[in-house]
Amino acid sequence: MKFFIALLVMGILTQNFTLSKFLGICPFLGVSKKLNTALGMSAAVIFVMLIATAVTYPVNMLLINYDLEFLQTIVFILVIAALVQTVEIVLKKYVKSLYNSLGIYLPLITTNCAVLGVVILNIDNISIYSAYNYGFLHSMINSFAAGVGFMLAMVLFAGVRSRLETADVPRFLQGLPITLIAASIVSVSFLGFAGLVEGMGLM
């Protein structure tokens, strides 16, 4: 139980996926202009991350069983791409309301490196040689934490950006440069969480 909480705290705060692992920077910079879109995008990411982890876990078992580990990258990206398509079709047909709020973000997610990233990191940690030796539940919780961490970063950054819109920025920093510098400061603030897991006695 302790380890589960530690995983959550690490994924969301101390080792935030976006701000300290640099996964999912494209949507972090691209779709964080408005709070609504930021929320919708990150909800879709959490959703896909969880499904992708649940599906790739048994697929990986299968690959290891037949000594085909070298096909991991290719199989995982195809599984994710197929999954995203299927989810989109299913949502469109049966859960119209959810499709309207999440659907438009789904095609963007296939090439979101955070999704493939979390899947690969989980699989790396499943190996018996790894220090953590994840099981299925660990992987799911780690993915969930990664997704929530992404959402937190997106939402915080959307707030910062809405302030930036009205700020008087020197001309040469306008646009992307000031956005990146703002991201840098948000990332500094997350450094403050370092040591939280150990401090809470979770590890």
Partner 1 sequence: MKGKDIKEIIKTALSLFLICAVSAGLLAGINGITAPEIEKNNLLKADETRRTVFPEASSFELSSAPDGTAYYTAFKDTETTGYVFTTRAKGYGGEIEVMTGINTDGTISRVSILSINETPGLGMKAKNESFLGQYNGKSEKLSVIKNGSPSENEIDAITSATISSSAVTQAVNEALEMYNLIMSGQEE
Partner 2 sequence: MAKVKYNYCKELTKGILKENPVLRLVLGTCPALATSTSVVNAIGMGIATTMVLICSNIVISALRKVIPSKARIPSYIVIIASFVTIVQMLIKAFVPALDESLGVFLPLIVVNCIILGRAEAFASKNPVLVSAVDGLGMGIGFTAALSCMGFVRELLGGGTLLSGTDTLLSAFVDLGSFRGLDFNTALESIGLSPMTIFILPAGGFFVFGILMAVVNKISEKKGLKRAVLSGCEGCPLASGCSKLKEDDAQ
The residue type found at 135 is: G
Question: For partner 1, what does the binding mask look like between residues 1 and 20, x meaning CB under 8 A?
Answer: --------------x-----
- Read off the tokens for 96: 């119209």
Choose one: 97-105, 144-152, 168-176, 191-199; the region binding partner 1 (CB under 8 A).
191-199
Which residues, 62 to 81, sit near partner 2 by CB under 8 A?
A: 70-74, 77-78, 81
Tell me the closest approach of the beta carbon of residue 61 to partner 2, in angstroms.
19
User: What's the rounded Cα separation, in Å, for the pair 34 and 103?
Assistant: 17
Closer to partner 1 by Cβ: residue 85 or 198: 198
Binding partner at 132 among partner 1, partner 2, none, C-beta below 5 to 8 Å by kind: partner 1
- Cβ neighbours for 146, distance < 8 A, ≥ 6 positions apart: 11, 17, 23, 49, 114, 118
Question: For partner 1, what does the binding mask look like between residues 122 and 151, x meaning CB under 8 A?
Answer: ---------xx-------------------
User: What's the rounded Cα separation, in Å, for the pair 74 and 16?
Assistant: 26
User: What's the rounded Cα separation, in Å, for the pair 186 and 173?
Assistant: 17
Binding partner at 131 among partner 1, partner 2, none, C-beta below 5 to 8 Å by kind: partner 1
The residue type found at 192 is: G
- Read off the tokens for 59: 């697929």
Measured over the CA atoms of residue 105, residue 91, residue 44 and residue 87, the dihedral's sign is negative
Binding partner at 203 among partner 2, partner 1, none, C-beta below 5 to 8 Å by kind: partner 1
The residue type found at 83 is: L
Q: Tell me, what DSSP letter sits at residue 71?
A: G
What count of other Cβ atoms lies within 10 Å of the Cβ of residue 172? 8
Tell me the closest approach of the beta carbon of residue 6 to partner 2, in angstroms.
20
Tell me the closest approach of the beta carbon of residue 201 to partner 2, in angstroms.
25
Closer to partner 1 by Cβ: residue 89 or 198: 198
Q: In the chain, count of helices (H) and strands (E)? A: 10, 0
User: Would you tell me which residues interact with partner 2 (CB under 8 A)?
Assistant: 19-27, 29-31, 33-34, 37, 70-74, 77-78, 81, 104-108, 110-113, 116-117, 120-121, 124, 172-173, 175-181, 183-185, 187-188, 191
